[in-house]
Amino acid sequence: MAATMVSSAGGLLAMLNESHPSLKLHALSNLNSFVDQFWPEISTSVPIIESLYEDEEFDQHQRQLAALLVSKVFYYLGELNDSLSYALGAGSLFDVSDDSDYVHTLLAKAIDEYASIKSKAAELNDEAANVDPRLEAIVERMLDKCITDGKYQQAMGIAIECRRLDKLEEAITRSDNIHGTLSYCINVSHSFVNRREYRREVLRLLVKVYQKLPSPDYLSICQCLMFLDEPEGVVSILEKLLRSENKDDALLAFQVAFDLVENEHQAFLLNVRDHLPVPKSLPSESTESAPAQNESTAAAEDVQMTDGTPASNANVQGTDPKEVIYAERLNKIRGILSGETSIQLTLQFLYSHNKSDLLILKTIKQSVEMRNSVCHSATIYANAIMHAGTTVDTFLRENLDWLSRATNWAKFSATAGVGLPVVAVHTQKGGALYALGLIHANHGEGIKQFLRDSLRSTTVEVIQHGACLGLGLAALGTADEDIYDDIKNVLYTDNAVAGEAAGISMGLLMVGTASEKAGEMLAYAHETQHEKIIRGLALGIALTVYGREEEADTGTANNKAIRQLLHFAVSDVSDDVRRTAVLALGFVLYSEPEQTPRIVSLLSESYNPHVRYGAALAVGISCAGTGLSEAISLLEPLTSDVVDFVRQGALIAMAMVMVQINEANDSRVGTFRRQLEKIILDKHEDTMSKMGAILASGILDAGGRNMTIKLLSKTKHDKITAVVGLAVFSQFCIQNQLLCPPATSAVKLPTAVLSTSAKAKARAKKEAEQKEKVNNEKTDAVGKGKSSSEKEGDSMQVDTPQEKKAEPEPSFELLTNPARVVPAQEKFIRFLEDSRYVPVKSAPSGFVLLRDLRPNEPEVLSLTDAPSSTQSPAGGSTTGQGSASAMAVDEEPQPPAPFEYTS
């Protein structure tokens, strides 16, 4: 039978006016088949079809058919709301499995509508959301279809968006790879769930699913528990692992502790440590080898983590050997949680791998006029940032006379930047107390009492200023009520200098707690007449709601927050407000740095120099350490702006973006370094620009060229010292002594991998990246050879001899552990399949515990250089006495002996 060719829907539409129901049904069925071709003609009869749908005497199936037809017509007319409304009336005839544009579009519309209703209900705390059951049925059918078809990631995405945690759990448990699915779900919750409370609900569900697994992933569970701020759950897991007779479980516990420390949440870590039981019995040997007091090298520390302790059991007669081992493990993990172990290892790495160039500092010093105190201070800051954490103070010791010429607040900042506890002059003593806070930032258990005593025992405003700042840094985020009261007493003296520091210190102490104390701070800000105190309290109040998302929006990329900031940036009458609003975009967007250049591109061309300055620093903050090409392109014209402070901000921001980037990655790095040198040497350059260039030089080589700026940890936690450090640093245009925090907070995030077997450098070009993925690498870690223009040759073992220039560059390179690896290269690190040591977790970098597969074989240990003093007493400094070996790192070779030249 030949197919009938239909050229018009007129006949079928006429049948809709017939009285017999079967004729109407026939017309509706055929019109549904032809609606794709004849929808313009059918649209003229929509009222008739609608009346059929609304006719209750009509058969249910026929009414649904009419609804489906109207829905399709409205879809083609572009009326998606009406189309969805009638699709809901079509019931089961709306087939979610149909692979057509109509179904796909309406499903997306239905899911968006459902998610919107659920979100609004959550915002209003309305448990019984008024959701159309037909809409809910369509969403559930779609979710069931995804799960049945094995599209678990799609199902999880829809379930999270629609707040259907029951379906989310079903999708996870029915997936083929539950561990992989859970990891994906954690990433999605961090990236796309905007509301903090809802994210916590999702994470609680994931923890519940994790705990039901036969082999739970304790690393991921503890990360989730840290987000949920539930230290008791972490303690129970650590106790279980530490009491296990399996050494691998103990290693896993140590790895969990190191991962938690990386997130820099001091209050949580102290809670975990304090909830752990105190060891009942502890042999003298294990006490001496506790991580908090261990003077051994990083390699020795790794061995102690993995070794059993049968020898020490003999020292304790009548004691259960299991309890002895448990006590030793407990002592070690308490040392890790206190931060001492990771600080020691980081210090050893930064000391032994210091590649800073003293010639840069000498050039800056020689080009800066002595009477210019701003550039004098900037040079000291640059040195502090350049040698942060290395304990190398050669430049300062060689230029003590020049250093001593600092005056007033410059002397305060110089002492803070140097970290030398000089107590002869008030400004120096205040700076020294601030330096102690910087040294012990976010791990100040041992120094808090000393700083409190110093604060209480003085009435000198400058010393109070330094003590408040130091105390806030040392007790960062601990919300200690006693310390708060001490600082509040200083605030209530209504002294402008001490009061400003007290306001900031209160914020540092209460950071992220959303404490009610913010109300007291706000009330006092309204009462006082001192602008300095108001400014300090404003920053402090902002810090108290750090990370609270709905209450504050740091790092959330929240569209509502972005719109508010953009509104202030373009409409406020105050230049200060406009500048700060644009700058704040950097903090909101640092989780998605690629967006920032696009959002602030127009603002960077504003007629208002304050807005341009804010745009430059916003890009610098959010794109710090990324080397993002778009960010560099946006900042380039600003570095030659007609206004001096805009140039200053652009130079600092460019250095923040380019840190750990070299000419192999972007040729503009070399151009920028030459531009900095030209600005510094130009005697006619204005002071503001010169200050920016000097600071930029220090940032580019931060930490001996081994540090970067990174605001998010690998597990998507905000790095509190980095974010808070940059927030305080961004106030330097108002008060120069606030320049110091980034030197030890924001920038102090080593890219070095400290405890893996070997490290890697990755190829920067795409064609070379393909070679890196070949499975024939025969090294513990592989990567790009000579990918960095910085002076790393001494710490690498290059396979290809230099004289064979014609040979192609090798695709891998063996590096000695620990080695410097920039963030872009981490993904190319590989471990040997037949290596003796294997990592406890598959992580390319950071503190990684190793499992010895051949413990009976003799070990070969390599020792690294260590500073002469890695411990600092309660009132001391790591950069203080006994640094002759540190000076040796940067000593230049002596000139040759005199001789006569004869031809």
The DSSP-derived string for 812-865 is --EEPSSB---GGGGGG----TT-SEEESS--SSSS--EEES-TTSPP------
User: What do you get for the CA distance between the two ends of the chain, in Å?
Assistant: 112
Residue 782 to residue 765: CA distance in whole angstroms: 15
User: Which tokens go with 685?
Assistant: 């350059």
Beta carbons within 8 Å of 91's beta carbon, 6+ residues apart: 64, 67, 134
Select from 182, 209, 196 the least CA-distant residue to 122. Answer: 196
pLDDT tens string 132-170 = 788 888 888 888 888 888 888 888 888 888 888 888 888
Burial status of residue 55 (CB atoms within 10 A of its CB: 0-12, 13-18, 19 or more) = middle
Is residue 27 within 8 Å of 15, Cβ to Cβ?
yes
Q: How many beta carbons lie within 10 A of that of residue 449, not counting itself?
A: 13
Is residue 261 within 8 Å of 270, Cβ to Cβ?
no
pLDDT score at 663: 84
pLDDT score at 868: 58
Residue 410 to residue 248: CA distance in whole angstroms: 53
Query: Which residues face 749 on adjacent strands?
Result: 708
Q: Enter the pTM of the model.
A: 0.75
pLDDT score at 807: 67
Task: List strand residue ranges (DSSP E) for 208-319, in order.
Answer: none
pLDDT score at 616: 92
- Intervals of the chain under pLDDT 50: 1-3, 282-303, 306-317, 420-425, 735-737, 740-804, 870-890
Query: Which residue matches tokens 């840190």?
Result: 659
Omega cis (within 30) before 818:
yes
Residue 383 to residue 739: CA distance in whole angstroms: 12
Write down the number of H helices and E strands in the chain. Answer: 45, 6
Beta carbons within 8 Å of 155's beta carbon, 6+ residues apart: 143, 146, 147, 167, 171
pLDDT score at 872: 37
- Amino acid at site 83: S
Cα Rg of the chain (Å, integer)? 32
User: Which tokens go with 265?
Assistant: 């949440």
Query: Which residue matches tokens 């499975």?
Result: 775
Distances 567 to 52, 351, 447, 520 between C-alpha atoms, Å: 50, 47, 44, 29
Residue 471 to residue 451: CA distance in whole angstroms: 6
pLDDT score at 5: 62
Residue 469 to residue 504: CA distance in whole angstroms: 7
Is residue 438 within 8 Å of 741, Cβ to Cβ?
yes
Residue 809 to residue 815: CA distance in whole angstroms: 16
